[in-house]
Amino acid sequence: MAEAIRIGSPAIEVRLRRHAGARRMVLRVSQIGALPTLTLPPGVPLSRARAFLADQEDWIRGHLAARARAIVVADGAVLPFRGGELVIRTGAGRRFVHAGGELLVPARGPIGPLVAGWLREEARRDVVAASEHYAARLGVGLGRVTMRDPRSRWGSCSHAADLMYSWRLVMTPPAVLDYVAAHEVAHIAELNHAPAFWAVVARLLPGYAAPREWLRVNGGALHRIDFGTRAA
């Protein structure tokens, strides 16, 4: 069982992770539900870890409070969508209707999973088109393209050129989705993150640094949107 420390009142539980290659203590608070984690170099005693966490208690509580402010998808929720906003409404019909910045959702079950399914299909259209565009520019073929909802990555590429994308990308500005598509297609040529890989990304999408930074800064907030589709 992993080590853990409880600090403060009310108590916060922090998971301890000992890593042979760590040179200093590193504290992380995930934005997607995991316990805060403190990575320790070898030989650091629990007393030192506890003192470090006591000094950081206010910082930890601030991040946990921000994480708790999740958006629950229900009637009237406002979601980010392709660089704009999408207002969710329960409709009277049997089909989704997207018009004027609103999405009318059929009243046939819990609204969150229905909206997630609609966004997934919209995302598929976007990422397939972007992937095909960059693959044509690079002169490579694509394998399968699948949509998932991973907690820790926005896309992946296999040795067989199969691409996986997070459907939450449809909630980012289009330039961000384009960056992730260019990134994953570049892996077909360079299945690594060496300088040669980044040179391919830059060739496919000059100026990729700005959308990459947007995702680094804002991506965690998209995982705080609760569609009722993830296990606790």
- The yes-or-no verdict on residue 63 having pLDDT over 90 is no
Q: Return the minimum-mean-pLDDT range out of 67-71, 150-154, 223-227.
A: 67-71
* Contacting residues for 46 by C-beta, under 8 A, at least 6 apart: 3, 5, 16
Tell whether omega for the bond before 80 is within 30 degrees of 0, i.e. cis: no
Q: What is the pLDDT of residues 107-150, one digit of tens each?
A: 888 999 999 999 999 999 999 999 999 999 999 999 999 999 99
Quote the pLDDT of residue 31: 60
Quote the pLDDT of residue 118: 98
- The yes-or-no verdict on residue 70 having pLDDT over 90 is no
- The yes-or-no verdict on residue 1 having pLDDT over 50 is no
Q: What is the pLDDT of residues 41-60, one digit of tens each?
A: 999 999 999 999 999 999 99
Quote the pLDDT of residue 105: 97
Quote the pLDDT of residue 82: 97
Rounded Cα–Cα distance for residues 141 and 179 (Å):
18
Rounded Cα–Cα distance for residues 218 and 151 (Å):
14
Quote the pLDDT of residue 140: 97
Domains of the chain listed by start with CATH number: 4-68 (no CATH), 78-226 (3.30.2010.10)
Average confidence (pLDDT) over 20-45 = 86
Q: Residue 60, SS3? A: helix
- The yes-or-no verdict on residue 67 having pLDDT over 90 is no
Quote the pLDDT of residue 68: 63
Confidence of residue 232 (pLDDT cuts 50, 70, 90): very low
**C-alpha closest to that of 128 among 76, 159, 167:** 167
Element (H, E) at 12: strand 12-18
